[in-house]
């Protein structure tokens, strides 16, 4: 697999033998990555990054994009009355993942509200993110724009 890195507006391929085969080293099962978008807009470039990632993963890796658009605003009282189906499905996707890929746009120098809401739903009662390796991608228009929401 060829991994592309960006440095000072130039893109150059980097050969990565570790990424050539993406299977569990112990049981050789396919790795399942859940991609979590930070934007709700379907034509978002950050969502495009997740779609592109799903197309270029090596054999043995499967990327599934979670839908956070149907998650209600986080309310701790909902746990007592039963969480909505959209929340249960989202949490199940996270639990079944081997790894997580976040697409992080920046809104007003912070995380976007939908992403923060999704994190709130997944990190409570119990935290389904616990123990999962994760990484993030983001498209930026200005220098270090995306980095502000990740710090």
Burial 101-138 (b: 16+ CB within 10 A, else e): bbbbbbeeeebbebbebbbebbeeeeebbeebeeebbb
Residue 59 forms part of a structural domain: yes
User: Per-residue pLDDT for 20 more than 50?
Assistant: no
Which pLDDT band, with edges at 50, 70 and 90, does 72 fall under? very high
For residue range 74-111, list pLDDT tens digits in order: 999 999 999 999 999 999 999 999 999 999 887 777 88
Look up the CATH number of the domain holding residue 122: 3.40.50.360
Tracing tokens 């997944």 back to the chain, one arrives at 122
Residue 8 forms part of a structural domain: no
d(CA 147, CA 151): 6
Domain limits at 109?
A: 27-150
Residue 83 forms part of a structural domain: yes
For residue range 54-70, list pLDDT tens digits in order: 888 888 888 999 999 99
Residue 9 forms part of a structural domain: no
Residue 33 forms part of a structural domain: yes
User: Per-residue pLDDT for 14 more than 80?
Assistant: no
What's the domain count of the chain? Answer: 1
For residue range 112-129, list pLDDT tens digits in order: 889 999 999 999 989 999
Residue 68 forms part of a structural domain: yes
Residue 136 forms part of a structural domain: yes
User: Per-residue pLDDT for 47 more than 90?
Assistant: no
Which one has a higher pLDDT value, 119 or 149? 119
Residue 10 forms part of a structural domain: no
pLDDT at residue number 8? 30
Could you tell me the pTM of the whole model?
0.74
């Amino acid at each position: 697999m060829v991994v592309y890195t960006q440095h000072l507006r130039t893109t150059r391929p980097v050969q990565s033998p570790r990424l050539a085969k993406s299977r569990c080293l112990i049981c050789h099962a396919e790795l399942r990555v859940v991609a979590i978008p930070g934007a709700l807009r379907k034509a978002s470039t950050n969502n495009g990054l997740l779609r592109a990632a799903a197309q270029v993963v090596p054999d043995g890796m499967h990327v599934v994009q979670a839908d956070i658009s149907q998650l209600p605003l986080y309310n701790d009282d909902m746990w007592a009355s039963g969480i909505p189906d959209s929340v249960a499905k989202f949490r199940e996707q996270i639990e079944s993942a081997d790894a997580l890929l976040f697409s992080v746009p920046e809104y007003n120098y912070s995380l976007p509200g939908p992403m923060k809401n999704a994190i709130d739903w997944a990190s409570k009662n119990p935290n389904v993110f616990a123990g999962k390796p994760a990484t993030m991608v983001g498209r930026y228009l200005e220098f270090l724009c995306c980095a502000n929401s990740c710090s």
